[in-house]
Structure 1
Amino acid sequence: MPNKLLPPSGPGRPKDLVKRQAILDAAKNLFISNGYDGSSMDAIAAEAGVSKLTVYSHFTDKETLFCAAVKSKCEEQLPELFFELAADAPIENVLLTIGRSFNALINSRESVELHRLMVTQATQNPKLSQLFYEAGPQRLLNEMARLLSRAELTGKLRIDDPHCAADQFFSLVKGGANFCLLIGCGEPLQGAAAEQHVQNAVTMFLRAYRPNQAAR
């Protein structure tokens, strides 16, 4: 529903940050419901309850706003904090946390609709597809590769190519179930089924990259 009334800023919550978040929320809703071409900056401003000038003061154009909306959605589910690796943190627990959050992200309504939107845009606007990839999937791959590099340096894992391993990890979590969901012939994994799926993916990943396994 339109967000006509902005919440009070409150202590430690500057008004401009509240407006920025309102714009991002409005953009995510409209891009998903109306598509990229069908979502004007005027409509996003009206949905957010701000002026168009305010929208442009935060985001210089619609492409910039689209990228920010994609990044915001990813960061909601997978904040950068998840990709930190404390010295005493069991690598399995870290991978499970990331796997659960990534699984929830790719199975969310917003993510599914956004991916379907990008498929329709693939031949019409390849530049937009590239922007989407860089703001979303590429960011997560880079964060995961950095995490795996640290795990390799600290001896928690043995990995020759962290970027390849990061891609393999996310591919394991996505699996066939997410593809079925995207094309409309399956339901999102939830509850115990989702947990078992993530645990299986992490177990398989660790079998490949634990130091003791790699040494065999």
Structure 2
Amino acid sequence: MNVEPEQLDAPRMTQDERRTIRRQAILDAAEALFLENGYPFVSLSAIVQQSGGSLATIYQMFGNKQGLLRAVVDRSSDESLKELETLFTSKQSPRRILEAFAVGYLAFVASPRAIAFLRLVIAESLTDPAFGAAFDRDMQTRFVARMATLFERWNTERRARIDRPWQAAELYFAILMCNVPVRSLLGKPPGGTSREDIIWRLACFLDHFGFEDDAPSVGAQSARSQTRA
């Protein structure tokens, strides 16, 4: 997305609105170039050429090239986090909420776009461990923290039995991610991402912590039948 001058000169547009448009244009260009050419082979000058603006604007908004990569991945992750927030306000039972989020989350992280981002982040983390640590702290932890808050609330409301909300949230995401990181490194699509497979993997977790349920889903019924067998 190359921002045309008339877009930024539109009447009644505030400085913040212009800045938002410019920022989105830079992120769009960076995402397209990173995924097409690979992060190490994309220069900030190439991003400026495609998005418009200047190097000074990129440094001001993102600090450096790594900061820009983190912002690109952060924007992508926000899509999944918004879905989580929507589910949290639904009137479904805790078990149904966790099952529904799991299916949506795996569809997101197993998508070609998300896998491509994950490979970029892993590759950069191998050469710069500090970048990997910052990515884990600023991004992955956001999901765990939000889920842990929900687990704590459900425990207080007696809709689950969770003595360690944070550890339970980490375990939940570990079960979901399963083989995604390793297979991403190997260039293979992740397996076990069908709705039935996901709910089967979650069944023991959901049963152990006693998450309140209404009517068991088809996948959950199948998982419990296989467990009893």
TM-score of the superposition, structure 1-length normalised?
0.77
**Corresponding residue number in structure 2 for 1:199:** 199
How high is the sequence identity, in percent, across the aligned residues? Answer: 25
Q: Which has the larger radius of gyration?
A: 2
Greater share of helix: 2
| Superposition deviation, residue 200 in structure 1 | 2.2
Cα contact 1:85–1:151 (8 A) shared by 2: no
How far 1:129 sits from its partner (Å)?
1.4
Q: What code does the residue aligned with 1:169 have?
A: Y
The whole-number CA distance in structure 2 between the counterparts of 1:182 and 1:101 is 22
The answer to whether the 8 Å contact 2:84/2:101 transfers is: no
1:161 to 2:159 alignment: no
Q: 1:112 maps to which residue? A: 115
Using the TM superposition, name which of 36-45 and 147-156 deviates more: 36-45
Stretches of structure 2 that go unaligned for 5 or more consecutive residues are 213-229
> Could you tell me which residue of structure 1 aligns to residue 135 of structure 2?
132
Cα distance change, pair 8–81 in 1 and its aligned pair in 2 (3 A): farther
Residue 208 (structure 1) shift: 1.3
Further displaced range: 85-94 or 107-116: 85-94
Q: Structure 2: which amino acid aligns with 1:40?
A: S
Matches within 5 A, 1:40-55: 40-55=43-58
1:46 CA displacement:
2.1
Task: Tell whether 2:212 aligns with 1:209.
Answer: no
Residue identity in the other structure for 1:168: L
Whether the 8 Å CA contact 2:118–2:184 is kept in 1: the answer is no
TM-score under structure 2 normalisation? 0.74
Q: Give the partner amino acid of 2:199.
A: Q
Correspondence for 2:82 = 79
In structure 1, runs of 5+ residues without a counterpart are: none
1:16: which partner in 2?
A: 19
Match of 2:95 in 1: 92
Q: CA deviation at 1:181?
A: 4.8
Q: What letter is aligned with 2:140?
A: P
Q: Alpha carbons of 1:47 and 1:87: their partners in 2 closer, same or farther (altered >3 Å)?
A: closer
Q: For the residues of structure 2 that align with 1:8 and 1:29, how far apart are their CA atoms?
A: 21
